[in-house]
Amino acid sequence: MKLRKLRSLRGGAATSAQQQQQQQQQQQGLNGNKNTVLADLESIRGVFNEKEKELSMAVRKVEELTHQLEDLRTGRVSSHYPPQIVELERLRRELAYRKQLAEQQNQMIAQQRAQLAVGRDEISRIDSRVMELQERLERKRMMNQQLANQVCFNLFLKTRDEFKKYLDV
């Protein structure tokens, strides 16, 4: 529109009648353009409003489902849930609790098994040490017995020799 005005101002040779005719044509073109633009704008507004309603309904539905899920998770039961869903959620919670309990028990059992294995190793070492000490004690007893026998025999020989000397005198 400004471009046409500038052209008309530059063209100074155009008559006022021509200018008026051009202005009327511009006005009619603008009115026609305005009408189509307004119609397009109205249809866009309508589509926008429709999409906005759809979006708000979807948001409400998501919020409702989120609230229901939270109710089920926390154990709050209301009358608008079917009994099967309530029972299913109760069973899920119970299963999760039992899994956690089983995991704790498995950890405790594994720890006890490890302690038991350490205890068995220690008992095995103690048993081998006891066997070693028993063998050493048995060897010492045998050596003491042999030494005692040798001492007795030497004493016997000494007393016999002394007795023979006494008898010979």
The model's pLDDT over 91-106, given as tens digits with 9 standing for 90+, comes to: 988 999 999 999 999 9
What residue ranges do the domains of the chain occupy? 1-79
Supply the pLDDT for residue 164: 84
For residue 58 the two structure tokens come to 């979807």
How many Å from the N-terminal Cα to the C-terminal Cα in the chain?
Answer: 170
Q: Tell me how far the alpha carbon of residue 25 is from its chain's centroid.
A: 74
Supply the pLDDT for residue 22: 67
Q: Which residue has the tokens 């000494």?
A: 158
Identify which of 5-19, 61-75, 117-131 has the greatest average pLDDT: 117-131
**Greater model confidence, 4 or 73:** 73
Within 8 A by CB and 6+ apart from 22, the residues are 4, 8, 14
For residue 128 the two structure tokens come to 């081998």
**Greater model confidence, 101 or 82:** 101
Please work out, in degrees rounded to the nearest 5, the angle formed at the alpha carbon of residue 46 by the alpha carbons of 41 and 49.
120
Give dist(CA 141, CA 133) in Å, integer.
12
Mean pLDDT over each residue of the chain, to the nearest integer: 84
